[in-house]
């Protein structure tokens, strides 16, 4: 049995009084494209920084390709590429000089260096920009440059933090194309983003984080089909959601009447009001119950259409947060806090 | 987009980009190459080079026209040559160093470098070497003028080179100081810029230049060699310390940089032992004074560097327990460990003094020196204990620590102004009480011998009470720190 590429096991991290990670556990298999989803402060960036070895866990273990991040950070760094959410161009530096420097910093020399640079610039379509100063690149070109830099050491694992933020539609398409090509080449990608639709298009597995915990890890397709398929060993992770279904309902009369009808009926929850109907969720949606509800609705209101809808990722995320609120919490396995609040002080 | 394979570096790729025939940068560290590429293109370097050449050319042309050969090298050409050499060596590079790290730390571009094969030390080292290389390049452009000065007479080339070497060493230490200071807040950086332009060059430059110049010109022989060696040793220790401080701004926690800086005071004190053994007590005392200054500076920096211990810091020495574990406790990041380290250092100094006192015979000063060392510990630790009581003060620990020192020092100074006792006796009585018993103030009071005979018993009681209060408070405030250390040590022990 092959070793997972990434194993995060019961990782905790505290900054002063802030418990950033609370027993985070997840694994990534080789070749997966995984989306890391969570609100601000959920612990995504802390988890990513720990994966890169730039920060270390208080407790728990993190292994990349079987190597402990805390014990052998240098070996781990050779296997990963990190594209952070921020980028600052170097002054007085061209695209070619920038990539050349990073390639040298990764240990490439001589013919290997120039071959590697040529490959990466070709892949990211940066060759025509080789002499352009970095501060004169468009946002899309800058993202391609960042990705190129991330690929220089030919990493097995790519960590992309908000990679498509601020990109125009064309640049976004180009970026998705690059991700697709990387997936085809067997790279493992962990992509963090707030834009869930973007993740839905790029990822096949999603890890939901909230309050420093992994609240769900599962396959995207099944998640959208309302079937939670938890794959996490963490006891706090929801391994399944209640059987719910979302329906798009259209009636001939005012939408307000339909809303009032849904409010009066048990098991229904209004998700979204539209111009000509609503999207609503039905609890315990067995075929018999759905048929019964459709008959009643058709009796009470002039029903035009009643169609089952796929859940959107945003709805799945909110649903997981809502239903996960009362789940069992793991005991806090983090050291006692230090006074002073912040991690590091002046000087 | 191309569909070229991203795989082995040895794969052949057909592109329009051709590698250069001769790749000189391959022979140099990547960080140095990057910094030189950037640095040599900056307006600061190019503008400085042109300005230096223009000024010196004009001055020398003017000197040729006006100076006589017999003026003994005291004309404008001489003055301007040394002024510009001093500026290039002692001001330009250190001031440029002040903006070398800060912006990159703020923009978080360092993280990307740390994910390559470069570690924090190589990054800082590359930046420092690049600054020195650029300084040497500027210096090389000044050498023709050094030779041209022969036309005006009275030039001792050997001594001139020695003085230049001294200034170069001083400038290199100042550049390292600038690299560290580049991570400080903007207001503090501005203060350091002012110091670097007006004060530090004369202190460092003149010190090293006199030491090196004196070694070749004045002293000569063994004495000269000794001065050279001492100057180089102190410069090397100071330089490494400053670079380590610069590294600490952005090094990941896995690189524990708390241990090395705590070896700086012993490293500075070490030559004093050899000097004393060789019978050079004057130089030994001077070296001990430098080491004491180093101890105070290192202790202040260590105490205000609010860093937490992590499991990774507790592996190795601490996990072993016993003596190794005890030594490991002195090398942990965080002020409680630094306070213990300071106590150990002062204890060693006190023991050394007591032994010397015993050898030389009964000395009335021994008790006072030991008392001052104990009060010195309390004086250094008390302000950080106070600062630690303020929630979320970690980010401003340095300025607050300094402020407490200034306030308590001011109390001692004001309490020493005798005429005020007549004007405001109640106020002065309060200041007197603070000077007796509040740590930091009580140290200065004892060290500067402001004691009044009538209050001597009260003074000792007050000082002892202040010392015990500081120790108790430090223990109480640092309990969570030590609890965390214990917790992490247990958690990081391998499970059976």
pLDDT of res. B315: 72
Q: Which of A245, A236, A250, A213 is nearest to A316 (CA)?
A: A245
Asked whether the beta carbons of residue A341 and residue B388 sit closer than 8 angstroms, the reply is no
> Is residue B21 within 8 angstroms of chain A, CB to CB?
no
Contacts of A93 in chain B (CB under 8 A): 37-38
Report which DSSP code applies to A83. Answer: E
Answer whether residue B342 shows pLDDT above 90: yes
> Is residue B252 within 8 angstroms of chain A, CB to CB?
yes
Asked whether the beta carbons of residue B395 and residue A346 sit closer than 8 angstroms, the reply is yes
Q: How confident is the model at residue B156 (pLDDT cuts 50, 70, 90)?
A: confident
pLDDT of res. B468: 92
Residue B380 tokens, joined: 């250094």
pLDDT of res. B224: 74
Q: What percent of chain B has pLDDT over 90?
A: 22
Asked whether the beta carbons of residue B118 and residue A121 sit closer than 8 angstroms, the reply is no
Distance from CA of A105 to the nearest CA of B (A): 6
Comparing A111 with B24, which gets the higher pLDDT?
A111
The minimal CB distance from A86 to the residues B41, B108, B491 is found for B108
- CA A33, CA A203: separation in Å to the nearest integer? 5
Question: Are the beta carbons of A189 and A34 closer than 8 angstroms?
Answer: yes
Contacts of A79 in chain B (CB under 8 A): none
Comparing B253 with A242, which gets the higher pLDDT?
B253
Question: Are the beta carbons of B196 and B178 closer than 8 angstroms?
Answer: yes
Nearest chain A alpha carbon to B6: A119
Question: Are the beta carbons of B242 and B184 closer than 8 angstroms?
Answer: no
Contacts of A74 in chain B (CB under 8 A): 117, 119
pLDDT of res. B7: 45
Average pLDDT of B37-41? 86
Q: Which of A87-96, A322-331, B102-111, B286-295 has the highest mean pLDDT?
A: B286-295
- CA A159, CA A143: separation in Å to the nearest integer? 14
What is the overall mean pLDDT for chain B? 81
Q: Which stretches does DSSP call E strand in chain A?
A: 6-15, 18-28, 33-37, 59-64, 67-68, 80-83, 157-161, 188-193, 205-210, 213-219, 244-251, 268-273, 277-283, 303-309
Answer whether residue A155 shows pLDDT above 80: yes
Asked whether the beta carbons of residue B26 and residue A110 sit closer than 8 angstroms, the reply is yes
Contacts of A343 in chain B (CB under 8 A): 307-308, 394
- Among A53, A58, A105, A180, most B C-beta atoms within 10 A, so best to mutate, is A105
Question: Are the beta carbons of B426 and B325 closer than 8 angstroms?
Answer: no
A195-227 confidence digits (pLDDT tens)? 777 777 788 888 888 888 888 887 766 666 544
Q: Which of B434, B496, B490, B440 is nearest to B462 (CA)?
A: B434
Average pLDDT of B49-66? 86
Assessment of whether the complete model's pTM goes beyond 0.90: no
pLDDT of res. A330: 46
Average pLDDT of B91-119? 87
Asked whether the beta carbons of residue A108 and residue B9 sit closer than 8 angstroms, the reply is yes
CA of residue A301 relative to chain centroid, distance: 41
pLDDT of res. B184: 85
- Secondary structure of B196-239 in HEC code, one letter for each residue: HHHCHHHHHHHHHHHHHHHHHHHHCHHHHHHHHHHHHHHHHHHH
Answer whether residue B296 shows pLDDT above 90: yes
Distance from CA of B34 to the nearest CA of A (A): 6
- CA A60, CA A256: separation in Å to the nearest integer? 52
The minimal CB distance from B1 to the residues A116, A177, A338 is found for A177
Q: Which of A101-110, A155-164, B217-226, B276-285 has the lowest mean pLDDT?
A: B217-226
Q: Classify A58 as helix, strand or coil.
A: coil
CB atoms within 10 A of CB B3: 10
What is the overall mean pLDDT for chain A? 80
Place of tokens 């308590």: B408
pLDDT of res. A237: 40
Q: Which of A107-111, A157-161, A230-234, A328-332 has the lowest mean pLDDT?
A: A230-234
Distance from CA of B116 to the nearest CA of A (A): 5
**Domains of chain A from N-terminus onward:** 6-89+137-224 (3.40.50.300), 244-324 (3.30.70)
Q: How many residues does chain B have?
A: 496
> Max CA-CA distance within chain A?
79
A291-320 confidence digits (pLDDT tens)? 888 888 888 888 888 888 766 777 777 777
Phi, psi of A332 (to 5 degrees): -70, 115
Answer whether residue A343 shows pLDDT above 60: no
Contacts of B311 in chain A (CB under 8 A): 56-59, 70
Asked whether the beta carbons of residue A102 and residue B112 sit closer than 8 angstroms, the reply is yes
pLDDT of res. A340: 44
pLDDT of res. A236: 38
Phi, psi of B272 (to 5 degrees): -60, -35
Q: Which of B225, B236, B192, B228 is nearest to B97 (CA)?
A: B192
Contacts of B41 in chain A (CB under 8 A): 92
Phi, psi of A206 (to 5 degrees): -125, 135
Residue B420 CB contacts under 8 Å (≥ 6 apart), including other chains: B414, B427, B428
Ordered by start, the domain boundaries in chain B are: 27-252, 298-491
The H or E element that residue B301 is part of is helix B281-304
Find residues 129-168 of chain B whose CB sits inside 8 Å of chain A. Answer: none
How many contacts does A have with B, using Cβ atoms within 8 A? 213
Phi, psi of B309 (to 5 degrees): -75, 145
pLDDT of res. A337: 55
> Is residue B496 within 8 angstroms of chain A, CB to CB?
no
Q: How confident is the model at residue B18 (pLDDT cuts 50, 70, 90)?
A: low
Question: Are the beta carbons of A14 and A186 closer than 8 angstroms?
Answer: no
Residue A91 CB contacts under 8 Å (≥ 6 apart), including other chains: A135, B38, B42
Contacts of B335 in chain A (CB under 8 A): none
pLDDT of res. A171: 80
Average pLDDT of A146-160? 91
Nearest chain B alpha carbon to A176: B1
């Amino acid at each position: 049995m092959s070793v997972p590429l990434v194993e995060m096991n019961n990782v905790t991290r505290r900054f002063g009084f802030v418990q950033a990670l609370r027993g985070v556990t997840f694994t990534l298999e080789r070749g997966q494209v995984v989306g890391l989803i969570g609100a601000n402060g959920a612990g995504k960036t802390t988890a990513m920084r720990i994966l890169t070895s730039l920060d270390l866990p208080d407790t728990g273990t993190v292994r990349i390709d079987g190597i402990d991040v805390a014990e052998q950070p240098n070996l781990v760094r050779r296997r990963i590429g990190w594209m952070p959410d921020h980028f600052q161009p170097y002054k007085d530096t061209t695209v070619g000089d920038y990539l050349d420097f990073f390639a040298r910093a990764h240990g490439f020399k001589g013919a290997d260096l120039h071959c590697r640079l040529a490959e990466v610039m070709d892949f990211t379509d940066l060759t025509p920009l080789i002499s352009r100063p970095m501060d004169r690149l468009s946002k899309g070109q800058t993202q391609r440059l960042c990705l190129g830099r991330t690929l220089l050491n030919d990493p097995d694992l790519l960590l992309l933090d908000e990679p498509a933020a601020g990109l125009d539609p064309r640049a976004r398409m180009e970026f998705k194309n690059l991700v697709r090509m990387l997936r085809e080449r067997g790279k493992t990608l962990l992509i963090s983003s707030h834009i869930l639709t973007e993740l839905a298009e790029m990822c096949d597995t999603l890890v939901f984080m909230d309050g420093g915990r992994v609240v769900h890890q599962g396959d995207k397709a099944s998640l959208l089909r309302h079937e939670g398929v938890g794959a996490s060993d963490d006891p706090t992770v929801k391994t399944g959601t209640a059987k719910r279904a979302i329906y798009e309902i259209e009636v001939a009369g005012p939408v307000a009447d339909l809303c009032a009808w849904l409010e009066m009926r048990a098991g229904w929850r209004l998700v979204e009001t539209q111009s000509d109907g609503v999207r609503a969720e039905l609890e315990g949606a067995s075929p018999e119950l759905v048929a019964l509800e459709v008959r009643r609705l058709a009796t009470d209101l002039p029903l035009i259409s009643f169609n089952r809808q796929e859940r959107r990722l945003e709805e799945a995320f909110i649903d997981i947060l809502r239903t996960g609120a009362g789940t069992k919490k793991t005991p806090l396995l983090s050291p006692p806090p230090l006074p002073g609040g912040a991690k590091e002080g002046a000087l | 987009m191309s569909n070229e394979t991203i795989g082995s570096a040895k794969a052949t790729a057909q592109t329009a980009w051709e590698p250069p025939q001769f790749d000189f940068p391959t022979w140099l560290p990547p960080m140095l190459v990057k910094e030189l590429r950037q640095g040599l293109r900056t307006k600061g370097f190019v503008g400085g080079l042109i300005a230096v050449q223009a000024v010196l050319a004009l001055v020398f042309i003017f000197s040729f026209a006006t100076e006589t050969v017999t003026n003994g090298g005291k004309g404008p050409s001489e003055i301007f040559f040394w002024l510009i050499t001093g500026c290039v060596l002692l001001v330009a590079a250190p001031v440029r160093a002040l903006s070398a790290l800060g912006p990159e730390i703020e923009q978080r571009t360092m993280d990307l470098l740390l994910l390559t094969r470069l570690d924090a030390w190589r990054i800082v080292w590359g930046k420092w070497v690049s600054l020195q290389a650029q300084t040497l390049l500027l210096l090389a452009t000044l050498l023709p003028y050094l030779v041209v000065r022969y036309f005006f007479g009275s030039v001792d080339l050997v001594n001139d080179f020695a003085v230049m070497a001294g200034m170069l060493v001083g400038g290199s230490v100042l550049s390292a100081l600038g690299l560290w200071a580049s991570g400080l807040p903007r207001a503090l950086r501005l203060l350091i810029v002012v110091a670097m332009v007006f004060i530090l060059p004369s202190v460092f430059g003149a010190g090293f230049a006199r030491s090196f110049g004196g070694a070749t010109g004045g002293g000569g022989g063994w004495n000269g060699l000794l001065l050279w060696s001492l100057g180089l040793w102190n410069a090397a220790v100071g330089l490494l310390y400053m670079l380590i401080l610069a590294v600490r701004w952005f090094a990941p926690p896995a690189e524990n940089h708390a241990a090395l800086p705590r070896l700086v005071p012993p490293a500075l004190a070490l030559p004093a032992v050899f000097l004393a053994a060789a019978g050079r007590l004057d130089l030994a005392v001077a070296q001990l004074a430098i080491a004491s200054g180093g101890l105070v500076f290192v202790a202040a920096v260590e105490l205000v560097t609010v860093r937490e211990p992590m499991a990774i810091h507790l592996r190795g020495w601490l996990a072993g327990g016993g003596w190794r574990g005890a030594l490991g406790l002195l090398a942990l990041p965080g002020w409680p460990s630094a306070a213990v380290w300071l106590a150990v250092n002062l204890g060693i100094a006190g023991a050394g003094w007591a032994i010397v006192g015993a050898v030389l015979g009964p000395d009335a000063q021994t008790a006072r020196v030991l008392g001052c060392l104990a009060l010195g510990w309390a004086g250094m630790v008390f302000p950080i204990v106070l600062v630690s009581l303020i929630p979320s003060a970690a980010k401003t620990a340095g300025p607050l620590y300094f402020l407490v020192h200034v306030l308590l020092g001011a109390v001692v100074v004001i309490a020493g102004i005798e005429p005020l006792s007549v004007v405001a006796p109640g106020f002065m009585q309060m200041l007197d009480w603070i000077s007796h018993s509040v740590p930091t103030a009580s140290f200065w009071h004892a060290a500067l011998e402001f004691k009044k005979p009538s209050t001597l018993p009260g003074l000792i009681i007050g000082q002892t009470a202040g010392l015990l209060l500081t120790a108790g408070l430090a223990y109480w405030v640092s309990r969570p720190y030590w609890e965390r250390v214990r917790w992490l040590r247990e958690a990081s022990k391998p499970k059976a």
